[in-house]
Amino acid sequence: MNGELISSKTRQLFRENMVGWVLREISDEFDAAGIDCDVTYQPSVGGQRRTLIERYYHTVDWADRSQIKRVLQVFENVLHRADKLVEVPASAGFSPEMRKEEVNKLIYFLRRDGFQWIDGRIGAGAGLPSLDDIKETAGTLDAQHMADQIRRMELAIVSDPSLAIGTAKELVETCCKTILAERGRPVTGTPDLPTLTRETLRELKLVPDGVPDSTRGSDVIKRLLSSLGTIGNGLAELRGLYGTGHGKHGKVSSLTPRHAKLAVGAAATLATFLFETHKETGS
């Protein structure tokens, strides 16, 4: 069916991996994720375990991101369990190599559907904005809060775009506050993101007025810096309309992963540039 976020092939592979579980374990896993079971559904598969899994699958709208998020909770635990079995000595005809191959197969088909296995969690994959630079920065600064924000964005782009957008805005806030604090200008009160961005750009001398007209390409540089300053405004507005953290009108439509990718990409680009400028120009 068009619009399905997890393909039937991926669902089948995870189902087959769970065939070795006991029935109670399967039920507990889906129930804990808040997925209903249609006990009246009679799938065309053999075996009690396959039938049970398909009855849970049957209640899922595979184009609904909120429901997909629940399924991914189940799939995460399937991968955790399968990964642990790789360390178990060969038994029942399955060697560690065969088990590892099975895990890799599950991860491969998840990736084909646009997801990836990140630090024990399933997050966005295909088309994900590169966050490597800002991850490196967070590691250099030993900024655990920022690292948590980056990881949350990665995991939420596909499964919860509104959360990704809200976190993108928070990442830039953290970036600005960290830079200003390290330069002896700790933030007091609760300034909004546009104000924080302007103050940080001014502190780093990244405002258009700071570029001499004699500088080669000054007009282009000024335009780029002016555009850079509007990213904070745009993220704040987008978060207010669609991100987490604010009550919204009941009929407001949710944004899609492509919009979340745009917000996350813009936030990561701005944060990386600000931190690199901060590092190169010193405090």
What is the 8-class DSSP label of residue 209? G
Residue 122, classed as helix, strand or coil, is: strand
pTM of the model: 0.53
Mean pLDDT value across the chain: 81
Least confident residue range of 39-53, 80-94, 122-136, 238-252: 238-252
Residue 222 scores a pLDDT above 60: yes
Residue type, 9: K
Residue 227 scores a pLDDT above 70: yes
Identify the pLDDT of residue 247.
47
Residue 1 scores a pLDDT above 50: no
Backbone angles phi, psi at 51, to 5 degrees: -60, -45
In Å, how far are 50, 159, 177, 194, 241 from 190, measured between CA atoms?
Answer: 54, 30, 11, 12, 20
Identify the pLDDT of residue 280.
85
Identify the pLDDT of residue 60.
96
Average pLDDT over residues 256-266: 83
Identify the pLDDT of residue 50.
97
